[in-house]
Chain A
Amino acid sequence: MPELTLAVLTLDGRRVTVAPGTTVLAALQNAGLSPLRSSLSGEPRGALCGMGSCYECRAVVDGLLMRTCLTPARDGQNVRRLLEVAREF
Chain B
Amino acid sequence: MNSEVWDAVVVGAGPAGLMAARTAAEGGLRVLLLDAQPGAGGQIWRGAAAGQKGTAGDLLRDVAAHPGITVLSGAEVMAAETRERAHTLTVTTAAGLRQIHAERVILATGANERFLPFDGWTLPGVVGAGGLQAMSKGGLNVRGKRVVVAGSGPLLLAVAAGLRQKGARVLAVAEQAGLTGVAAFGMAAARLPGKSREASALAAGLLGVPYWADCAVVRASGQNQLQSVTLRRGRREIRLDCDYLAVGFGLVPETRVAALLGCALDNTGAVRVNVWQATSIQGVYAAGEVCGIGGVDGALLEGFVAGCAASGQIERLRDAPRRADLQRRFQRVLERSFALRPERLHTPLPATIVCRCEDVRHGELRGFAGWTAAKLQTRCGMGVCQGRVCGPACETLYGWRFEGARAPLVPLPLAQLLDEPTTLSPP
Residues of A at under 8 Å CB distance from B? 18-19, 21-23, 25-27, 29-30, 34, 38, 40-41, 43-56, 58, 64-65, 69-73
CB distance from B26 to the nearest CB of A (A): 29
Pairs across A and B, CB under 8 Å, 26 listed: A19-B139, A23-B38, A23-B139, A29-B140, A30-B140, A38-B359, A40-B359, A43-B122, A44-B124, A46-B122, A46-B123, A46-B124, A46-B127, A47-B127, A48-B131, A48-B356, A50-B128, A50-B130, A50-B133, A51-B112, A52-B37, A53-B112, A54-B385, A69-B134, A70-B36, A70-B38
CA distance in complex: A65, B411 (Å)? 10
Which of B124, B134, B135, B254 has the largest number of chain A CB atoms within 10 A? B124
Encode contact with A along B359-398: 1 for CB under 8 Å, 0 otherwise.
1000000000000000000000001110011000000000
What are the residues of chain B within 8 A of A27 when measuring CB–CB?
139
Residues of B at under 8 Å CB distance from A? 36-38, 43, 47, 74, 76, 112-113, 115, 122-128, 130-135, 138-141, 224-226, 254, 356-359, 383-385, 388-389, 411, 413
CB distance from B358 to the nearest CB of A (A): 7
Label chain B's interface by main secondary structure: loop
The answer to whether A48 touches B127 (Cβ under 8 A) is yes
The answer to whether A50 touches B47 (Cβ under 8 A) is no
Count the A-B residue pairs with Cβ separation under 8 angstroms: how many?
115
Tell whether A50 pairs with B356 under 8 Å between CB atoms, given A21-B47, A26-B140, A45-B124: no
The answer to whether A51 touches B43 (Cβ under 8 A) is yes
The answer to whether B127 touches A26 (Cβ under 8 A) is no
The answer to whether B131 touches A41 (Cβ under 8 A) is no
CA distance in complex: A83, B47 (Å)? 30
What are the residues of chain A within 8 A of B384 when measuring CB–CB?
55, 58
CA distance in complex: A55, B409 (Å)? 13
Tell whether A49 pairs with B37 under 8 Å between CB atoms, given A21-B47, A38-B359, A69-B138: no
CA distance in complex: A65, B124 (Å)? 20
What are the residues of chain B within 8 A of A73 when measuring CB–CB?
139
What are the residues of chain B within 8 A of A72 when measuring CB–CB?
38
CA distance in complex: A65, B262 (Å)? 31
